[in-house]
Copies of this chain bind each other. A is one copy, B any other.
Amino acid sequence: MTSGSGLLVADLVGVAVFAASGASAGVVKRLDLFGVAFVGFAAALGGGILRDLAIGAVPPLAFADWRYPVTAVLASMAVFWLHPTLNRVRRTVLLLDAAGLGLFTATGTLKALAAGVPPVGACLLGMLTAIGGGLARDLLTGQIPVVLRSEIYAVVALGGAILITVLHTLGFAGPLPLVGAAALMTGVRLLALYRRWSAPVAAP
């Protein structure tokens, strides 16, 4: 999603973390090894595939660069075999997931802007890059997507995408605003987890 090798590493960390979240959901639903790997793949790369289709970047990165699917599948398999010990590292996983949220939103928004998508659409696509994988994971495992039901998650992505679009429009370029916005999103997401913030539900 970015050219710098530092950012490639960060990107692949995001892929691995989201794949792990998908694979965990697959293990809970008693899917077989292939099913766990597939849900991990969809959770890690589904949002990016949707973004790439929407901006006309074909084939999507998930099919064009082998490091993305291989990272997703390896992370899923690690969860498949190691999941009994994963509860002990649950806090680490939540931290990495928050980092993935920030990174995917940042790279997704910038990629859409670079492809000429107008600001409002770029914000939506940046957010979809971050939450699309979680939507795919929950639909494949037969659940109403958690991102629609509770927790401040997508709203952090949307806010971060707007911030990045504003910075981009004001002419800030280079990796610094991107990294800053990603770090801010990660921080807000962790704060929302810690303080148990949630969005309002309609009155009955």
Contacts and interface: CB of A to CB of B under 8 A. Distances in A.
- Main SS of chain A's interface residues? helix
Interface in A53-99: 53-56, 58-60, 62-66, 69-70, 80-81, 83-84
Contact of A38 (B55, B112, B154): B154
Nearest to A30: B201
Contacts of A31: 144, 148-149, 201
Interface of A: 26-27, 29-36, 38-39, 49, 53-56, 58-60, 62-66, 69-70, 80-81, 83-84, 112, 115-122, 124-125, 135, 139-145, 147-150, 154-155, 198-203
Contacts of A201: 30-33
7 contacts: A33-B201, A33-B202, A34-B155, A35-B148, A36-B202, A55-B59, A83-B202
A25 B160 CA distance: 28
B63 A121 contact: yes
A86 to B, nearest CB: 11
Contacts of A199: 32-35
Contacts of A121: 59, 62-66, 69
A115 B70 CA distance: 21
